[in-house]
Amino acid sequence: MNRVFEFSPPQLRVIVFLSALLFILFAGRLLYDYSRVDENSLRLSVSIAEPDNRYAPALKVDLNLSPADSLELLPGIGPALARRIVAMRETERFITPEDVMKVDGIGHATFAKIQPYIEVREW
């Protein structure tokens, strides 16, 4: 007879089912606990060890070339500020990322939030 630990076939099916269910729940909880959506860049970050928030963004927004809808993706920049940035660069090009603080409504706090995500390329 083909019995493991003297369990009947229906009992073995229940044990296998419960074991698989437990494994799936454990794996789901593990992924839920160690993954998060980064609020600023909308990327899924998986952290197995100590979290390291010093990573660089994958893409940066060029202040002189990006359209207003791309600028709206920056943290703390809404449609009105994006339009002001576009209006400013039409009269005066940005030379350094710090020049964005010349735009009305962008101070040191907003600049600190967007600094990792902006750049000014020389063409």
pLDDT (tens, 9 = 90+) of the chain, 123 residues, equals 555 578 788 988 999 999 999 999 998 887 777 666 555 544 444 445 454 555 556 678 899 988 998 899 888 899 999 999 999 999 988 999 999 999 999 999 999 999 988 999 876
> Which CATH code is given to the segment(s) 61-119?
1.10.150.320
Can you tell me the distance from the alpha carbon of 74 to that of 40, in angstroms, rounded to the nearest whole number?
A: 7
Domain map (residue ranges) of the chain: 1-55, 61-119
If you search the block for the tokens 């964005």, which residue do you land on?
A: 100
